[in-house]
């Protein structure tokens, strides 16, 4: 994905007028939704923890960008709670 972003930037793509931080917030939210959508059908409580780790690192790296920092921490908390909920909820039988 980063290669396509670099290609867009090189060809003077303006991001539909949205700033880089706005795009970062949008992508963080989309990633969180994808983490939930992929892990829920399988009741996989470990899959969202990969996103928790990555989002926490992103938030700590971008403390100066307020929106990215807050969104990263919020998505970290949301996905951590979701992962705990998946772990504690009873598994559904396949039969």
Per-residue model confidence as pLDDT tens digits over 44-76: 899 999 999 999 999 999 888 788 999 999 999
Is 35 within a domain? yes
Is 82 within a domain? yes
Looking at residue 22, what is its pLDDT?
86
Average pLDDT (18-28) is 86
Is 78 within a domain? yes
The answer, yes or no, to whether residue 33 has pLDDT greater than 70, is: yes
Is 11 within a domain? no
Is 52 within a domain? yes
Average pLDDT (3-23) is 70
Between CA 17 and CA 38 the distance in angstroms is 31
Domains held by the chain: number:
1
- Which residues, 6+ apart, have CB-to-CB distance to 68 below 8 Å? 21, 24, 25, 28, 58, 59, 62
Residue 16 gets which letter from DSSP?
Answer: G
Please state whether the predicted TM-score (pTM) of the whole model is above 0.95: no
**With 0-12 CB in 10 A as exposed, 13-18 as middle and 19+ as buried, what is 5?**
middle
């Amino acid at each position: 994905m980063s290669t396509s972003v670099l290609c867009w930037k090189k060809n003077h793509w303006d991001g539909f007028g949205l700033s880089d931080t706005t795009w970062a917030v949008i992508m963080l939210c989309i990633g969180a939704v994808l983490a939930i959508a992929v892990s829920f059908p399988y009741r996989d409580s470990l899959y969202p923890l990969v996103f928790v780790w990555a989002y926490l690192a992103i938030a700590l790296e971008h403390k100066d960008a307020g929106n990215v920092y807050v969104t990263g921490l919020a998505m970290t908390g949301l996905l951590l709670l979701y992962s705990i909920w998946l772990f504690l909820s009873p598994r559904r039988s396949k039969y």
